[in-house]
Amino acid sequence: MIAALYSFATTISGPAVRIVLALRRLRGKEDRERMGERLGRAGRPRPDGPLVWLHGASVGEALSALPLIERLLANHQTLNVLLTTGTVTSARLMAERLPPRAIHQYVPVDIPGAVDRFLDHWRPDLALWLESELWPNLVARTARRGVPMVLVNGRLSARSFARWQRAPRFAGALLGAFQRCLAQSEADAKRLAALGAKNVASPGNLKFASAPLPADPQVLSEIKRMLGARPTWIAASTHPGEEAIVAEAHTRLRKRHDTLLTIIAPRHPARGAALAVELTGSGLRVAQRSGGDAPDAASDIYLADTLGELGLFYRLAPIAFVGGSLVPHGGQNLLEPGQLDCAILHGPAVSNFAPIATAMANAGAATTVNDAASLADAVDALLSDKAKRQAQARAAADVAAGEAGVLDRIMEALAPSLAALAGGKDFGKSTAIKGVSRARA
């Protein structure tokens, strides 16, 4: 009943959806040049041969998909990959990082006409859905065409599980459309199975397979030379409300570390101009990277409001607060600073990365903070004690490296679907890829 109502409501909502897309475009949340893709009108021709379609919500899912995409393409030379996401930021990042034979498109809005146009054009042979963004029309209409689907790196928080339990038949029909569900953790696997997912397994979190975020060596060297021995820390992937907390923490810290530089890298770089005004209004001196500013001795804040440079800033700062965690968002990826020699801090709201946060806490690799005062105290303790800072960073690196074989296990779990795609030939057999380790015994 709910599925039928949803389908009907979205069928008649086309005009309203177009208005919403237009408003989002005006706010910079949609790509003006590629709006047709959001309505299912392809921006590229479909390549010949078998096509595997991967869908993820945004930057995090797209980045975690890269090693899987590379492995799929390395295992079969005639295969092509289509990656869909829904955000401008992810599209720009994938334009730089997708390998040959991989295409990015925006996911169509979940109205039947747009979905059908998308599927008519791309005709995927296999669909891999990443994590938790399941659009009902897109799932149902893909399944109706007989396209095999697998949920990869499936995630379902306790809060989302409770919401889905209010509509168990709808949840069961949605998850039951997948041939198999590969969960990030045992807890996610249990919740997915309880809602009706089939063939559930937990090969591990695909985010552990991601390579360290890249950085331009020349730019890194130049900024390091500018900073010299100046104490530096970063507040990364921050969300609205967190920058004010970080600014207050910086003000407290300057009383103890008078040459301190705080780097703020907002999750959405488009907020940079507004943040520069906000931070300057708080009495702080801001160097804004998107404006070409370089941090000098007078700068309090280096506003890292550029795309694709987080790896650069993690390499500049030995202490990283990971945002989305002092506001009710659910946190951002803790493994990224862990791979780059950072001692890690985060707030209490880390439900999106709960197993990783638990592993970090158990290893002594991360410290939880709750407000500006505790954030300042934690940064001060790490700045003042090099041995403690280095020990915490080593522990974080060990956690980040602890599931190096996860990609092999996911490929093994995908082998039946890939073999069917190949007409019996084994697509799932692992091949040696530079930088990817075999699963440990």
Catalytically active residues are: 61
Q: How far is CA 168 from CA 2, 137, 174, 440, in A?
A: 10, 17, 10, 38
Query: Do residues 299 and 305 touch, judged by C-beta distance below 8 A?
Result: no
Q: Which H/E stretch holds residue 82?
A: strand 80-85
| Amino acid letter for position 82 | L
Q: What is the DSSP letter of 33?
A: G
CA nearest neighbour of 249 among 365, 367, 380: 380
The pairing of strands 232-238 and 261-266 is: parallel
Using CA atoms in the order 159, 111, 24, 240, what is the torsion angle rounded to 10 degrees?
A: 10
Report CA-CA distances (Å) from 400 to 97, 101, 196, 334: 21, 29, 31, 9
Sheet-wide strand order for 286-288: 286-288, 301-303, 261-266, 232-238, 319-322, 343-346, 366-368
Instruction: Give the separation between CA 245 and CA 232, rounded to whole angstroms.
Output: 17
Query: What is the rounded distance in angstroms from the CA atom of residue 117 to the CA atom of residue 105?
Result: 13
Cβ atoms of residues 55 and 87 within 8 Å: no
